[in-house]
Amino acid sequence: MIKNERIRIYPASQEQMEKCIDSETDEELKKAYSEMLEGCLAHHEEWDWYAMWMIEKMDGTHIGDFCFKGIGAGHNPEIGYGILDEFQGQGYATEAVKLALKWAFEHPQVLAVEAESDPDNAASQRVLEKCGFLATGAIGEEGPRFIVYKENNKP
């Protein structure tokens, strides 16, 4: 578990992920959560890199989640995140991404973290910018790609 003054983040257990999948009504999210669980089960020794991470306020209120989309040799991990509507605009996504980057960069093999954002999601792009991500100029499946380098590994 990683925390700051307002939130804590931690990788979900198999039971927590199954519960989220079963209760999710958005088919796209249900599919994404199912793929995360499949990745966890296929790469059990790297669970945290495939798992859904829970984002909670310090009182235990669930406010969102994020994931790293796996980790592979020679590849930068990619992060995806979402905050529940009623908690958006309060800085929680920025705090969660900063905590996630701190955790990721504690791993020596991680030199950079990447992300994509829907081209129309200005709020998500602001979160990435606040966390030090820079646009790469490339376009991925979900939109423009961004990257942030480990502090002492910037090009």
- For residues 125-135, give the mean pLDDT: 96
Q: 144: helix, coil or strand?
A: strand
Report pLDDT for 75. Answer: 78
Confidence of residue 60 (pLDDT cuts 50, 70, 90): very high
Residue 140 lies in a domain: no
Whether residue 28 lies inside any domain: the answer is: yes
Question: Domain of 100?
Answer: 2-110
Percent of the residues in the chain that have a pLDDT greater than 90, as a whole number: 88
Q: Is there a domain that residue 44 lies in?
A: yes
Residue 152 has a pLDDT of 54
Q: Is residue 154 part of a domain?
A: no
Nearest to 144 by CA among 110, 126, 39: 126
* Burial (0-12, 13-18, 19+ Cβ within 10 Å), 27: exposed
Query: Whole-angstrom distance between the N-terminal and C-terminal Cα of the chain?
Result: 31
Q: What is the average pLDDT value for the chain, to the nearest integer?
A: 93
pLDDT value for 8: 98
Gap between the Cα atoms of 24 and 30, Å rounded: 6
**For the chain, how many structural domains are there in total?**
1
Q: What is the length of the chain?
A: 155
Q: What does the alpha-carbon distance between residue 62 and residue 35 come to, in Å, rounded to a whole number?
A: 21
Read off the tokens for 32.
Answer: 């994404």
Structural domain contains residue 119: no
Give the pLDDT of residue 20.
94
Residue 149 confidence class, pLDDT cut points 50, 70, 90:
very high
Q: What is the mean pLDDT of residues 114-130?
A: 95
Three-state secondary structure of 7-72: EEEEECCHHHHHHHHHHCCCHHHHHHHHHHHHHHHHCHHHHHHHCEEEEEECCCCEEEEEEECCCC
pLDDT of res. 9: 98
pLDDT tens across 3-36, in order? 999 999 999 999 999 999 999 999 999 999 999 9
CATH code, domain carrying 50:
3.40.630.30
